[in-house]
Amino acid sequence: MKLAEALLLRSEYQKKLENLQSRIMVNLKVQEDDKPHENPEELLKEAFDLNE
């Protein structure tokens, strides 16, 4: 793999992780008796899988 390809991949992963982090934070903060739009646990699992 060339350096340029590796840097592009790293950039993509960083953007995906930033997106997941913001989605996790939004879905962790909900009012009592409300349900989050997305399951934060599934988002966390996706973030951890992306880091492997």
Please tell me the predicted confidence (pLDDT) of residue 28: 85
The reported pTM is: 0.75
35 SS3 class: coil
Q: Tens of pLDDT along 5-30?
A: 999 999 999 999 999 999 999 988 88
Q: How confident is the model at residue 50 (pLDDT cuts 50, 70, 90)?
A: confident
What's the whole-number average pLDDT of the chain?
91
Q: Kind and range of the H or E element at 6?
A: helix 3-28
Q: What is the DSSP letter of 47?
A: H
